[in-house]
A and B are shown apart, each in its own frame.
Chain A
Amino acid sequence: AQSVTQPDIHITVSEGASLELRCNYSYGATPYLFWYVQSPGQGLQLLLKYFSGDTLVQGIKGFEAEFKRSQSSFNLRKPSVHWSDAAEYFCAVGTHTDKLIFGTGTRLQVFP
């Protein structure tokens, strides 16, 4: 069965520090992978997605993610975090039956 694991429930970083949010997936075929961000009281916004090709994908707001098939991972990174990045981050895998399966999310706190 398809699944997504985000091992870190809560991460705290200082503003200006680098960030890596982990995501591991389980899926039998080539996955479609997504990262979404949810700001407090808001809906989800797509940061980036991977379907095929270059395994390093660039997204909005300075985020990037790298697909590593050997590790079944799709970790999200940002070289320098801003206070406005504080939010909940969700990794998701898209299946060929047209539904997204989400991880449980990682809450990011940013200290000044």
Chain B
Amino acid sequence: DTAVSQTPKYLVTQMGNDKSIKCEQNLGHDTMYWYKQDSKKFLKIMFSYNNKELIINETVPNRFSPKSPDKAHLNLHINSLELGDSAVYFCASSLGTSGSTDTQYFGPGTRLTVL
């Protein structure tokens, strides 16, 4: 049973396209996150949602728009893709609102390559 799942696992696309990455968690958690891991393995939070409400919005271009249809799903839509968007994107979830103290469970990642 996959706790946090992401689709697709790999995504290759051209510059300027719009793409979405989906994330689902079956842990009953209230909080979900998106992280970006660059080519040097540096991980940085992008967004977090708690019960469909945006909690954290780091300095991310507004081409990135998270959408949470329900608390089990947090999708990431990216408009007008750029070369610099190439990275591995991780979804994560945690039980409550105090994400920094609750364990965050990570998905397997989506490797996005922009050509």
Contact = CB atoms under 8 A, between A and B. Distances in A.
B106 A102 contact: no
Contacts of B99: 94, 98-100
B56 A98 contact: yes
Interface residues of B, number: 26
Contact of B45 (A51, A100, A107): A100
**Interface size class for chain A?**
20 to 34
Given A43-B106, A43-B109, A97 B56 contact: yes
B80 interface: no
A32 B107 contact: no
B42 A102 contact: yes
A102 B44 contact: yes
Given A45-B106, A90-B43, A105-B41, A99 B48 contact: yes
Interface of A: 32, 36, 41-46, 49, 51, 88, 90, 94-100, 102, 104-105, 107
Interface of B: 4, 31, 40-45, 48, 55-56, 58, 90, 92, 97-101, 103-109
